[in-house]
Amino acid sequence: MQIIPAIDIIDGKCVRLTQGDYQQKKIYNENPLEVAKAFEDAGLERLHLVDLDGAKAGAVKNWKVLESIAGKTSLVIDFGGGIKSVADVDIVFNSGAALATVGSIAVKNENEFLQWLQQYGPSRFLLGADVKDEKIAVAGWLETTDIWIYDLIEKYSAHGVEQIFCTDVSRDGLLQGPAIDLYKNILERFPSLHFIASGGVSSMADIEQLQETGCKGVIIGKAIYEGCITIKELVQFQK
C-alpha cells in the first residue's frame, strides 16, 4: 500500500483545515517545497497537493507551488483544487503534475470531464469523491447530492479511470480514524479498483487496518503535521 502525504496550500503556505472549514485553518509551514523535500528525503515517492485557494475560487491558483515542487523533487504529484476547465488541466500538467485530481466537475459537468478523459487519457486523472452517508458531497462539502458513491465509481471505472480516492467528510481533519466500513463496502463491489483511502487517519494501526481492507494507497495529512505518525514510521511501513 502506497503512503501519500498531503500538502494543502493557502496563500502559498502549507496548511490544514478541519472538515473543509476555511475558518479552522492552521499554518504548518510557510514553505511547501521544504515540506515536500522532507518527504522525498525520507524515501516517500508520492505527493497529494491541494490548492485550497483554487478550490474556493473555482480556478487553479497555486500552480507556482506545484511548479516549484515538481521542478525540485522527483515526487509523483497529483494536484487538485479548482480544476474546472481545459485551461486549468493544461496548467496543472504543464506545471509538472503527473495526475490531475478532480472531484466536483465529474459530478456536476460529466460531459466536460468525459472530454478530458478522451483528450488526455484516463490514467492522467485521480478522481476524488467526498462522501456523506454513502452519498457524494460537493461544493466544499456544503452540498450533499443524491448520487451514491458506488454509482459514481461504476460510471467512471467504465470510462477507464483507474485511481479513485474517497474522503468521509464527517471524519476529515478530526483524527478519529478512517471510514473502514465504507471502504470495505466499496472494495467488496469493486475488488480490482486502485482505491485510495483519505481522511481521519490518526495512527499506524489505522494504516495497517486500511491495508488489510485492500486499499492500494492512503492519503495522510494532519496526522503527520500533528506528530501522531512520524515520516520514518510511514517509510518503514511502505518497505
Q: Given this model, what pLDDT does residue 23 score?
A: 86
For residue range 55-67, what is the model confidence (pLDDT) as tens digits?
A: 999 999 999 999 9
Angle in degrees, CA 211, 237, 102, rounded to 5: 55
Q: Given this model, what pLDDT does residue 174 score?
A: 75
Q: 4-8, 24-28, 54-58, 174-178 — which is least confidently predicted?
A: 174-178
Taking residue 189's Cβ as centre, other Cβ atoms within 10 Å add up to 12
Question: Band of the pLDDT at 45, cuts 50, 70, 90?
Answer: very high
Residue 81 pLDDT more than 90?
yes
For residue range 189-232, what is the model confidence (pLDDT) as tens digits?
A: 999 999 999 999 999 999 999 999 999 999 999 999 999 999 99
With b for 16 or more beta-carbon neighbours within 10 A and e for fewer, the 141-177 pattern comes to: beebeebebeebbeebbeeebbbbbbbbbbbbbebeb
For residue range 96-139, what is the model confidence (pLDDT) as tens digits?
A: 999 999 998 999 999 999 999 999 999 999 999 999 889 998 86
- Say which of 8, 53, 168, 172 is annotated catalytic: 8
Q: Residue 187 forms beta bridges with which residues?
A: none
Secondary structure (3-state) at 18 = strand
8 as an active site residue: the answer is yes
Assign a CATH topology to domain 2-238: TIM Barrel (3.20.20)
CA distance 230 to 146: 38
**Look-up of cell digits 478522481:** 127
For residue range 170-200, what is the model confidence (pLDDT) as tens digits?
A: 777 677 899 999 999 999 999 999 999 999 9
- Say which of 53, 130, 172, 206 is annotated catalytic: 130
For residue range 145-168, what is the model confidence (pLDDT) as tens digits?
A: 999 999 999 999 999 999 999 998
With a pLDDT cut of 90, the percent of the chain lying above it is: 86
130 as an active site residue: the answer is yes
Q: pTM for the complete prediction? A: 0.95
Q: Given this model, what pLDDT does residue 141 score?
A: 58
